[in-house]
Amino acid sequence: MRVLTAVIAIAFGILILLGYFLPQAAIIQTILLNWAVILTGVAALVGLVNLMIVHMDKVRRSEKGSIYSAILVLVMVLTFFAGVILRPDHLLMRKVILDGIILPVEAMLMGLLTVTLLYAAIRMLRKRADVMGIVFILTAALLFLGSATLPFGDVPVFGTLIRPWFTQIFALGGARGILIGVALGTLVTGLRVLFGMDRPYGGK
Amino acid sequence: MDYLDIISGLLSFLFTIFVLSYLVGDNPLFRITIYIFVGAAAGYVGSVIVWQVLKPQLWDKGIAAIFGGTLVDQLLILLPLLGAALILTKISSRMAGFARLPMAFLVGAGAAVTIGGALLGTLLPQMEATINFFDPQLAAARNIHALEVMGNGAVILFGVVTSLAYFHFGARQNANGTMHRFGLIEIIAWVGRIFIGVTLGAIFAGVFAAALTAFIERFSSLIDFINKLIGIF
Amino acid sequence: MIVDLPDWLKAAAPESSIFSARNEEVTRPPEPSAAETPDWIKNFQQAADVSASQPEEPVSETGEVSPFENAPAFTPDFSSESSDLFAEMPDWLSNAVEPTSSANVSPSSTPTPITNEDALAPSDLPTWVQAMRPVEPGGIPQALYSSDQTLESRGALAGLQGVLPAAPGFTPTSKPKSYSIKLQTSDEQMAHAEILEQILAAEASPVPIESLPSLGASRGLRWFLAILFTLVALVTLSMRTQVFRLPFAAPNQVREAQAVVKSIPENSPLLVVFDYEPSRAGEMEAISAPLFDMLNNPRLTFLATNETGATLAERFAAGSLSGSTYLNLGYLSGGQLGIRAFVQDPTRIAPVDIHSQPAWTSTMLQGVTAINQFAAIILVTDNAEAARIWVEQTQGIRSVTPIPFIVVSSAQAAPMIEPYYESGQVSGVVPGLYGGALFEQYNAGLPGTARIYWDAYSIGMLLAVVLLLGGGLWNFVLGLRERSTVKGAE
């Protein structure tokens, strides 16, 4: 099985990679990627089933907090069947599930970050007062100032000069360095998979 | 404002307040809200996958292939169907090993797409763009003074090089067993820290701005709902 | 049977195999002298000589030698190989087998021949089985046999006597010698071992991480921040204040985005990708609305690359695009795999719309079968990673047929999208509420969501600057004092 999985990963990987460089291989790439689209959908569904099984186990074993797990399973099953019967784009689903539950909870959790992030940033220099920390805080403060306006218009110098220069020149250098570093990292990781050195699908 | 809007607004109002209550501290209302949210999101995602992935890609295509498709069409739908069946074995702990076959396919495909994208879409264009900052013709085409462009280009090039050096972790061992980087790399990496610090500061400012906008949007929706209710009664 | 074997296989066959011809002369290595050979090995040799001197069995009429008929299971090579083996044995091993020599055998261990002749007469046994039989008593070291003559009464060995020796009869005849366990090493080897030990010790010993004691949570500060920002939001939004002006100085990427949007011809097909979480819906809708409002009667095709994206697109269309027509292709799964597949062949990957109707024959997509036939791509995202993937995977097709690519980005993703704008891979960026407010400025204030939020946003940002600098400086000083106190105490 280990050999077979490695052969599958390497062979299909090379076939798909060829599609980037050979126009003749593009059709094969599309067909294989279409399969991948289907399989990722099924894999996501399996993940959801797993989530439900885990929480049902908690309920069955009457673990601490199992009442919350029971609520989760109940809401999950109800939403799933409602979505399957009505379709997810149905107005009822959009208004009740998306606008009524998912969006407000996620958005408010995101909103809470306002307090949490500011709190953490204020206290950061107490623990970490090195060059990177100071540069980090000063940059954030400058960009806050540059992003705001005053009753008479942009904050002079900060909004018109410093903010654009920082975001388009200074931060760009670091961001491009990070992007190239990430690209190199992903490239190497991908090559390791295609050479069979890394086998995240199982086996050494 | 129809009854759906009222139900939706009421739910939104309640859940916003319940999550906001976390500022006071962790409490049962907050926890119930989070579990309801996870359940609803998971169930919703499941139904989206059924209707927008499996139905058009497997069911519709499968039916079309069986009733009127060629042998090639049938094979092209049979293979992903088989892969899907193998992935489903992951649910059973005894048969989960079979799922490794389609997972290997997905990993190989992911690796190939990552390589192609990173090489052609990021590495080469980004390096080319860093070099092109020193091209006076391109500066003229953008109607920017060559000196200004080259000055900015030098800063960006310096930032790119020093940031990359910051991620260079090659080191030698001292006689006392401690590790140290090569001297020149150490100096360049120190400068790189400043650029990375600036970039992270910019990202932090962005995350804070996004969070503040979400905070404002929530309060705006609360106020809107109350205003609408007042309008009704 | 041996004649049936091909030559190459004969050559590969071992000399002592059962396929060897009986009368073939066996080349023996020189035997060790009698003085060098222990007694018990001599006994083995005698036994072997006895079997070797037995008369040859008749050969079949065909002249073939049946391997199973005459070949003994143990050929004479056995003894010679054995003697070679033991001649080369080190001293310590030779000493270890000394106690079994016949000279040390006690009278109590005198062997007795097995008494199972009743079961099968010796004359009936084929020769190869005889060869497997224990050899004559005189030729076998007596100590190898037990004195236990128990007759087995049950089981597979029922009727046999003395087959399994009982434990009491198996007693050591001499005290085993003690051997030194001291390792013979050179100084150089010892030095290497010490270095290895040091390396291992350094790996195992924990390295203390330099850190200050963790800070206690300041509930007061958190409450203060929460109340402050809540008050700002409540007051400005409920009073609908418009004190702070919208920003005016548009950065390059926003100006470029405006130029691209204005340049798109009327009734052009546009691909709009929704890739943001519901948590950023408020921000993304506020940013996107003025941009879409600026478009000249476009034919919009929506595509989502996260699960809730398709419904968020419907929500956006219902709120900000009321009256406009659009086509929603729904959710595209697979992340970058799906995106690549869609870029290569959109008709195969997204054949139907969100209502399961054929998409590519609709009027919205008239004349469009490939991604480079769209007039522009607009990516609405809160995720720098998603933007990177879309830029990367469309790079190939856009380098052949340039298509304007605009990114409407959340403020948090904008810094990492900036390099793609500077490299020309992205035509324009609308970053966060700031970018949305700029667009709104240039769109006669329509639709106005950014304006509603702007006072709260500006005050929040200004407060954050004051708190960050003031609080940061205060904490910096406190940290310095704490560290100097810790150093003083040490």
| Conformation bin of residue C63: beta by default, left when phi > 0, alpha when psi is -120 to 50 | left
Q: Least CB-CB distance to B43: which of A77, A95, A131?
A: A77
Contact C349 A34 (CB under 8 A): yes
Mean pLDDT of A172-198: 93
Contacts with B45 from chain A: Cβ below 8 Å: 44, 48
Q: How far apart are CA C355 and CA C332, in angstroms?
A: 14
Q: Phi then psi for B144, rounded to 5 degrees?
A: -120, 145
Cβ–Cβ contacts within 10 Å for residue C193, how many? 12
**Between A and C, how many CB-CB pairs are < 8 A?**
197
In single-letter form, the type of residue at position A145 comes to L
Q: How far apart are CA C218 and CA A21, in angstroms?
A: 57
- The DSSP secondary-structure symbol of C109 reads G
pLDDT at C387: 96
Mean pLDDT of C261-289: 95
- For an interface test with B, which of C277, C412, C458 has the most B Cβ atoms less than 10 Å from its Cβ? C412
What are the tens digits of pLDDT across the range A100-119? Answer: 999 999 999 999 999 999 99
Contact A105 B34 (CB under 8 A): yes
Q: How far apart are CA A78 and CA A75, in angstroms?
A: 5
What would the two tokens of residue C395 be? Answer: 């790079």
* C42 — pLDDT class (breaks 50, 70, 90): low
Contacts with B53 from chain C: Cβ below 8 Å: 331, 333
In single-letter form, the type of residue at position A176 comes to R
pLDDT at C129: 62
pLDDT above 70 coverage of chain A, percent: 99
pLDDT over threshold 80, residue C84: no
Q: Phi then psi for C68, rounded to 5 degrees?
A: -90, -10
The answer to whether residue A118 sits within a structural domain is: no
Show which subunits contact B, needing at least 3 CB pairs below 8 angstroms.
Answer: A, C
Contact A181 B106 (CB under 8 A): no
Cβ–Cβ contacts within 10 Å for residue B31, how many? 16
pLDDT at B183: 81
Residues 25-64 of A with CB under 8 A from C: 26, 29-30, 33-34, 36-37, 40-41, 44
Contact B39 A87 (CB under 8 A): no
In single-letter form, the type of residue at position C484 comes to S
Across-strand partners of B180? B172
**C329, C353 in Cβ contact below 8 A?**
yes
Across-strand partners of C269? C299
Contact B209 C331 (CB under 8 A): no
Q: Are residues A75 and A142 in the same domain?
A: no
Q: Are residues A2 and A76 in the same domain?
A: yes
Structural domain count, chain A: 2
Residue in B169, B212, B170, B160 with CA at minimum distance from that of residue B191: B160
Could you tell me the end-to-end alpha-carbon distance of chain B, in angstroms, rounded to an integer? 12
Place of tokens 């008593």: C137
Contacts with A145 from chain C: Cβ below 8 Å: 461-462, 465
What are the tens digits of pLDDT across the range C131-158? Answer: 665 554 444 444 444 455 666 666 666 6
What are the tens digits of pLDDT across the range C349-398? Answer: 999 999 999 999 999 998 899 999 999 999 999 999 999 999 999 999 99
The continuous run of DSSP H or E covering C457 comes out as: helix C449-489
- For an interface test with B, which of A28, A32, A42 has the most B Cβ atoms less than 10 Å from its Cβ? A42
The distance of C298 to chain A (nearest Cα, Å) reads 23
| Mean pLDDT computed over every residue of chain A | 93
Contact B8 A96 (CB under 8 A): yes
**Chain C residue with the nearest C-alpha to that of B210:** C411
Contact C246 A149 (CB under 8 A): yes
pLDDT above 90 coverage of chain A, percent: 78
pLDDT at C137: 46
- For an interface test with C, which of A115, A128, A193 has the most C Cβ atoms less than 10 Å from its Cβ? A115
- Please give the ipTM for the structure prediction: 0.93
Contact A4 B101 (CB under 8 A): yes
Show which subunits contact A, needing at least 3 CB pairs below 8 angstroms.
Answer: B, C
pLDDT over threshold 80, residue C177: no
Contact B206 C410 (CB under 8 A): yes
In single-letter form, the type of residue at position C122 comes to P
Q: Does B175 touch chain C (CB under 8 A)?
A: no
Cβ–Cβ contacts within 10 Å for residue C318, how many? 11
Contacts with C330 from chain B: Cβ below 8 Å: 51-52, 56
pLDDT at C138: 45
Contacts with A98 from chain C: Cβ below 8 Å: 278, 308, 311-312, 315
Q: Does B125 touch chain C (CB under 8 A)?
A: yes
Residues 64-123 of B with CB under 8 A from C: 106, 109-110, 113-114, 116-118, 120-122
**C289, C281 in Cβ contact below 8 A?**
no
Q: Does C256 touch chain B (CB under 8 A)?
A: no
Per DSSP bridges, beta strands A153-154 and A149-150 are: antiparallel
pLDDT at A128: 80
Contacts with C281 from chain B: Cβ below 8 Å: 217
What would the two tokens of residue A30 be? Answer: 């599309």
Per DSSP bridges, beta strands C326-331 and C376-381 are: unpaired
What are the distances in angstroms from CA B145 to CA A172, B133, B138, C249? 20, 12, 10, 20
**Chain A residue with the nearest C-alpha to that of B80:** A35
Contacts with A96 from chain B: Cβ below 8 Å: 4, 7-8, 11
Q: Does B45 touch chain C (CB under 8 A)?
A: yes
Q: Least CB-CB distance to C278: which of A93, A102, A168?
A: A102
In single-letter form, the type of residue at position A174 comes to G
What are the tens digits of pLDDT across the range C86-130? Answer: 444 445 544 444 444 444 444 444 444 444 444 445 455 666 666
Contact B109 C337 (CB under 8 A): yes
Contacts with C416 from chain B: Cβ below 8 Å: 203
Catalogue all structural domains in chain C, each as residue range(s) with its CATH number: 2-144 (no CATH), 241-453 (3.40.50.720)
Cis preceding linkage at C447, omega within 30: yes
pLDDT over threshold 60, residue C284: yes
Q: Does B202 touch chain C (CB under 8 A)?
A: yes
Contact C277 A94 (CB under 8 A): no
Q: Least CB-CB distance to C432: which of B199, B209, B218?
A: B209
The distance of B173 to chain A (nearest Cα, Å) reads 25
Residue in B42, B45, B44, B37 with CA at minimum distance from that of residue B16: B37
In single-letter form, the type of residue at position B115 comes to I
**Chain B residue with the nearest C-alpha to that of C341:** B113
Q: Are residues A76 and A13 in the same domain?
A: yes
The answer to whether residue A120 sits within a structural domain is: no
Q: How far apart are CA C273 and CA C406, in angstroms?
A: 10
Q: How far apart are CA C487 and CA C177, in angstroms?
A: 64
Residue with more model confidence, A198 or A70: A70
Q: Least CB-CB distance to B48: which of C307, C388, C464?
A: C307
pLDDT over threshold 50, residue C75: no
Task: Per residue of chain B (233 residues), give pLDDT as tens.
Answer: 688 999 999 999 999 999 999 988 889 999 999 999 999 999 999 999 999 999 999 999 999 998 888 898 898 899 999 999 999 998 888 888 889 999 999 999 999 999 999 999 999 999 999 988 888 777 777 677 777 778 888 999 999 999 999 888 777 777 777 777 788 888 898 999 999 999 999 999 999 999 999 999 999 999 999 998 888 77
The answer to whether residue A2 sits within a structural domain is: yes
Contact B53 A79 (CB under 8 A): no
Contact B35 A36 (CB under 8 A): no
Q: Are residues A11 and A80 in the same domain?
A: yes
pLDDT at C194: 85
pLDDT at C123: 53
Residue ending a domain, among A60, A86, A112, is A86
Structural domain boundaries, residue A12: 1-86
Considering just the CA atoms, what is the radius of gyration of chain A in Å?
A: 25
Give the distance, in angstroms, between the CA of residue C397 and the centroid of all CA atoms in the same chain: 34
Query: Which of B168-172, C166-170, C399-403, C431-435 shows the highest mean pLDDT?
Result: C431-435
Q: Least CB-CB distance to B43: which of A71, A83, A138?
A: A83
**A19, A28 in Cβ contact below 8 A?**
yes
What would the two tokens of residue B71 be? Answer: 């042998």
Show which subunits contact C, needing at least 3 CB pairs below 8 angstroms.
Answer: A, B
Q: Least CB-CB distance to B216: which of C419, C434, C456?
A: C456
Q: Least CB-CB distance to B196: which of A16, A107, A174?
A: A174
Cβ–Cβ contacts within 10 Å for residue C88, how many? 9
pLDDT above 90 coverage of chain C, percent: 46
**B112, A25 in Cβ contact below 8 A?**
no
pLDDT at B225: 92
Q: Does C434 touch chain B (CB under 8 A)?
A: yes
Q: Are residues A9 and A70 in the same domain?
A: yes
**Chain A residue with the nearest C-alpha to that of B73:** A31
Annotated domain spans of chain B? 133-233
The answer to whether residue A91 sits within a structural domain is: no
Contact B108 A40 (CB under 8 A): no
Q: How far apart are CA A105 and CA A111, in angstroms?
A: 10
Alpha-carbon dihedral sign for residues B178, B182, B187, B190: negative
